[in-house]
Amino acid sequence: MKSHQTTIIDIARELNLSKSTVSRALTGHPNVKQQTREAVLALAEKMEYQRNQMSISLITNKTKTIGIIVPEFVTSFFSQVIIGAQEEARKSDYNVLISQCNEDYNTEVDNAQLMMRNRVDGIIVSLTKETKNFDHLRTFQRRGIPIVFFNRVCEEIMAPKVIVNDYDAAFKAVEHLIKTGKKRIAHLAGPPSLAISRKRQNGYIDALKKHNLPIDEDLIIGYDLNMSKVKIYIKHFMDMDNPPDGLFAINDPTAMEAMQVIKQLGKRIPEDIGVVGFSNDYASQFAEPSLTTVAVPVNEMGKTAVKLLMDMIDKDPADWKLLVKVLDTELIVRNSTVRKA
């Protein structure tokens, strides 16, 4: 079934003009008589003409589309980054092709190839927790298609990155727990494959060190972000002879799941154990107790990534800058660490 889309030829025929004149009128080229232009625009409007992006892309070798690859879509984090990214892209009249990977490496590779086939002008990427091979991404650079990483960045590929001050934020988060009087703080960390896991863990460790608290390896568990495991680890923690009185979790979903388990075990938050998350997920404000967390400027992260990408598109790869933008975070203190009256 061939759908009928109005073409330039349709307009040209109707107005008895050449294709090129119509094209010029439509694209705002100066060399068109005012009267002709008006006639063309009026008819285009009437016939609901929408230029065919395909043919233009074929000529210009530009699709005016950027790809966004994110690891998951369940928590609000990446959705919100995407909102920012999309807003920024729209400013430059760019579209956005979005793919989420269900935290699956093979899906990420598929998505990358899909982007390739669709000849996106650039991509912004946050890796799945599984991604350890980066060939599918290197292909882009090899072809002069720019990449910008955000949040879960790849340290082995030379490309601009947008991250937050993970180390500092973690440091402050843990320091906050310490200031509320906690002395045995556990850390439910992310998989070591992710740089953010390592940085946050380092922040955690250094905060303890600064305050002369012992580093107890038993209190640090790196896990694969598979939420169903949180229960096991938290029970493990709380079953200890000397259970922790504080918990710093790699992200908010983990922290909230942990709080569920802690409450089931009959422990009070924050009295028995204070909890801090990371990312300020949409849900964290509603949790009970509301979750103390590190607010990441998600919207800005998306915007910044796209801005950096836009600076690379149409530039010679030799001129690409290797900026690493570090965005500031803010510790949001809520009831999971400091109970308000």
In the complex, the residues that contact a copy of itself under the rule CB under 8 A are 1-5, 48, 50-55, 57-58, 61, 63, 65, 73-76, 79-80, 82-83, 86, 90, 95-100, 102, 110, 113-114, 116-119, 139, 142-145, 256, 259-260, 281-289, 314-317
The DSSP output letter for 97 is E
Residue 32 CB, shortest distance to DNA, in Å, is 4
Name which of 190 and 253 has its Cβ closer to a copy of itself.
Answer: 253
Number of residues that bind DNA (CB under 7 A): 29
Among a copy of itself, DNA, none, what binds residue 337 when CB lies within 5 to 8 Å by partner kind? none
Measured between alpha carbons, how far is 116 from 69 in angstroms, rounded to an integer?
12
Min dist. Cβ of residue 241 to a copy of itself (A)? 29
Check residue 86 and report its DSSP letter: H
CA–CA dist 103, 106 (Å, integer): 9
- Least Å distance, CB 207 to a copy of itself, is 26
Q: What are the distances in angstroms from CA 258 to CA 94, 121, 187, 227?
A: 41, 41, 11, 9
Please provide the DSSP assignment of 6-71 as one string. --HHHHHHHHT--HHHHHHHHHT-SSS-HHHHHHHHHHHHHTT----HHHHHHHHS--SEEEEEES
Beta bridge partners of 327: 164
Partner from a copy of itself, DNA, none contacting 86, C-beta within 5 to 8 A by type: a copy of itself
Q: Rounded CA gap, 116 and 142, in Å?
A: 12
C-alpha 234/C-alpha 72 separation (Å) is 24
* CA-CA-CA-CA torsion sign (209, 211, 212, 213): negative
Question: Of 11 and 309, which CB lies nearer to DNA in the complex structure?
Answer: 11
3 binds DNA (CB under 7 A): no
Nearer to DNA, 121 or 300 (CB): 121
Among positions 5-64, residues that touch DNA (CB under 7 A) are: 5, 7-9, 16-21, 23-24, 26-27, 30-34, 36, 49, 51-52, 55-56, 58-61
Q: What ranges make up the beta strands (E) of 117-184? A: 122-125, 147-150, 161-164
Say how far apart CA 177 and CA 195 lie, in whole Å.
23
Q: Which does 289 bind (CB under 5 to 8 A by kind): DNA, a copy of itself, none?
A: a copy of itself
**Distance of closest approach, residue 314 Cβ to a copy of itself, in angstroms:** 6
In the complex with DNA, the residue whose CB is nearer, 139 or 226, is 139
Partner from a copy of itself, DNA, none binding residue 177, C-beta < 5-8 Å depending on class:
none
Q: Among a copy of itself, DNA, none, what does residue 317 contact (CB within 5–8 Å per kind)? A: a copy of itself
For the bound state, the minimum distance from the C-beta of residue 312 to DNA, rounded and expressed in Å, comes to: 21
CA distance 273 to 49: 63
Handedness of CA 254, 257, 261, 263 (dihedral sign): positive
Q: Which does 36 bind (CB under 5 to 8 A by kind): DNA, a copy of itself, none?
A: DNA
Q: DSSP class of residue 337?
A: T
40: DSSP letter: H
Q: Is 74 in the site for DNA (CB under 7 A)?
A: no
Partner from DNA, a copy of itself, none contacting 17, C-beta within 5 to 8 A by type: DNA
Using CB distances below 5 to 8 A depending on partner kind, what does residue 31 bind out of DNA, a copy of itself, none? Answer: DNA
Residue 150 contacts residue 81 (beta carbons within 8 Å): yes
CA angle 302, 50, 42 (to 5 degrees): 125
Query: Does 106 contact DNA by CB under 7 A?
Result: no
Direct distance between the N- and C-terminal alpha carbons of the chain, in angstroms, rounded to an integer: 67
- DSSP classification of residue 281: -
143 binds DNA (CB under 7 A): no
Binding site for DNA (CB under 7 A): 5, 7-9, 16-21, 23-24, 26-27, 30-34, 36, 49, 51-52, 55-56, 58-61
